[in-house]
Amino acid sequence: MNRPGMEPNLAATLLRRAELSAERTALIFEEQEISYGEFADRVRRQASLLRSGGVCVGDRVGYLGLNHPALLETMFAAQALGAIFVPLNFRLTAQELTFIINDAGIHTLVVDDATRPVLEPAVGDLCCQQIFTSESVADGWRHLSTERAEAEPLAHAVSVDVHDVAVIMYTSGTTGLPKGAMLTHGNILWNNINSMFAFGGSRDDVILTAAPLFHIGGLNVMTLGSFHTGSTVVLLRNFDAGQVLADFERYKVSHMFGAPAMFLFMSQHPSFATTNLDSIRVLLCGAAPVPESLIELYAARGIDFCQGYGLTETSPFSSFLTPEWSISKLGSAGQAPLFSNTRIVDDNNQPVPAGVRGEICMNGPNIMKGYWNRPEATAAAIDAEGWFHSGDVGYFDEDGFLFICDRLKDMVISGGENVYPAEVESALYKHDSIAEVAVIGLPDEKWGEAVTAVVALHDGHELTLEELRSFAEPMLARYKLPLRLHVVDALPRNPAGKVLKFVLKENLQE
């Protein structure tokens, strides 16, 4: 008998778990309960369907849509064949999606009902050899569920090496073009081992996933790990504060990952005070520090936060701030996990002592293999000693806790989404009224940071925020659109002509 559990293929691990726990509930989605046995059967049949369509080892298989069991089934089915899964951001425009799909060379794409109208006008420009719709039957589209049901189950997952790529996850680049971070089977497994040792986990856990699965946080902070332990995932199509609270009570949820804004919106919901939260053991939070007021609010209900820091390129966890330190080390990103390392370096890539600011670097088995088809970008990000350079500035305190100060790459985090100013600036520069533009992040109580456009206009021109957002909407996902607009006479620059964004931030802080 083939022993898939003895090798690192993520799909083989899932199939082995299904052998051991066939009757246990793997997924709950919109009141539908899917057992591990049923889930594995779907994965095996979809793998056969993909193989009959020409998907081979190393080919890329994509999914575009909101959270849905079909996303996870497509991922595991691709990996069962030794193929690579590419989750796509459903908030992107057709233009943005076309670039990523063709850059990745996606062989087979699965699209849901909500995103099909966005992609449809661009289908003729895509490199895909076959496209399926995951939900409704649509004219001219192949229907995944129908064809999958007719396929024979795949007998065994393909054997892979721990360094083979399992997922390519696109992250916006400072040049304005997204880059695909190649995460291996080993990267994801080791991230989950680090997570397990940091905050535990068992087969009796009930994990609620409302964060988008195209994000590394939604996919691999807790969701994929649950398929190793044999626990249950309550999967929401998207985040809705009231639905999350109702499902907490209904399914006795024990864990949830989210951005601070999600937990804030939940606390502001009318049903928060009356919802039974006794089953919650810990809430995991990423993307930004949890405000002290929010920590205290949940603590009053007997709920702890475990905070983390990481990036797509680190699979994602690079540090944890466990609940016992949430107040005494408020604002810290915590400590490196058991099987990873973090250091702070100066401009010469030399480690600096505690209290000194520098670039945050990480190494360990959770660090990505590199950027897809971007050898120069890979070489710039991962040095000769194997340290990944995050582009974030931080320092260690005397106790070895990490604090993050700034971002070398000027990234803005708005509502848990990474927004890179260069990409937004490139789109805004196309407006006839704009002479020059700089995009920065300014503090915002709701979103963490507000994408802010600072512009100098051509003589005789005027511009409103509404006009600017309307202009940019066809080119940029909505979360990248400016929330604020400031018109200035000229942007501050240094003698070399570089815009001094820190001056803008200082002048515009409210």
Write out pLDDT tens, residues 237-249.
Answer: 999 999 999 999 9
Show Cβ contacts of residue 48 under 8 Å, excluding neighbours closer than 6 positions: 151, 152, 153, 154
Average pLDDT over residues 200-209: 92
Band (pLDDT 50/70/90 cuts) for residue 102 is very high
| Measured CA angle at 66 (ends 82, 62), to 5 deg | 25
Q: Look at residue 474 in the predicted model and tell me its pLDDT.
A: 93
More confident residue, 289 or 484: 484
Structure tokens at 208: 């609620």
* pLDDT given for residue 310 in this prediction: 92
Rounded distance between C-alpha atoms, residue 42 and residue 29, angstroms: 15
Tell me: the pLDDT tens digits for 253-274?
Answer: 999 999 887 898 899 999 999 9
Structure confidence at residue 4 as a pLDDT band (50, 70, 90): very low
Residue 89's pLDDT is 93
pLDDT of res. 433: 94
pLDDT at 129: 97
Q: What is the mean pLDDT of the chain?
A: 92
- Separation CA 55–CA 78 (nearest Å): 8
56-61: average pLDDT: 98
The pLDDT value given to residue 495: 55
Position 155 confidence tier, pLDDT thresholds 50, 70, 90: very high
**Tell me, what's the pLDDT at 353?**
97
pLDDT of residue 174: 46
Which residues face 207 on adjacent strands? 233, 255
Higher pLDDT, 285 or 426: 285
Q: What is the pLDDT of residue 5?
A: 43
pLDDT of residue 220: 95
Q: Which long-range contacts (CB under 8 A, 24 or more apart) does 239-247 make?
A: 239/210, 239/211, 239/265, 240/210, 241/265, 241/266, 241/268, 241/269, 242/269, 242/271, 243/210, 244/208, 244/210, 245/269, 245/271, 245/272, 245/275, 246/271, 246/275, 247/208
pLDDT of residue 79: 98
pLDDT value at 75 more than 80:
yes
Q: What is the pLDDT of residue 413?
A: 85
Q: What is the mean pLDDT of residues 303-329?
A: 90
Using CA atoms, how far residue 19 sits from 15, 172, 275, 359, in Å, is 6, 39, 36, 45
**Looking at residue 201, what is its pLDDT?**
81
Average pLDDT over residues 192-215: 92
Under 8 Å CB-to-CB from 315, ≥6 apart: which residues?
A: 183, 187, 188, 190, 191, 216, 220, 366, 367, 368
Neighbouring CB atoms inside 10 A of 507's CB total: 11
Dump strand ranges (E) for 272-371. Answer: 282-285, 305-310, 317-321, 332-334, 341-345, 358-363, 370-371
Tell me the average pLDDT across 33-48: 98
Q: Is the peptide bond before 316 cis (omega within 30 degrees of 0)?
A: yes
DSSP for residue 485: E
Contact 382, 113 (CB under 8 A): no
What domains are there in the chain, each with its CATH number?
Answer: 34-160 (3.40.50.980), 412-508 (3.30.300.30)
DSSP state of 157: P
Token reading at 132 = 């399926």
465 confidence band (pLDDT: 50, 70, 90): very high
Q: What is the pLDDT of residues 387-418, one digit of tens each?
A: 999 988 889 999 999 988 766 667 788 888 87
What pLDDT was estimated at residue 1? 36
CA–CA gap between residue 63 and residue 104 (Å, rounded):
12
71: pLDDT strictly greater than 70 = yes
38 or 347: which carries more pLDDT confidence? 38
Query: Alpha-carbon distance 386 to 123, whole Å?
Result: 39
Question: What pLDDT does 406 receive?
Answer: 64
Find the mean pLDDT for residues 206-222: 95
Distance of CA 359 to CAs 217, 329, 393, 409, Å?
22, 20, 5, 11
Q: What phi and psi, each to the nearest 5 degrees, are found at residue 444?
A: -145, 130
- Is it the case that residue 77 has pLDDT exceeding 70? yes
pLDDT at 173 over 80: no
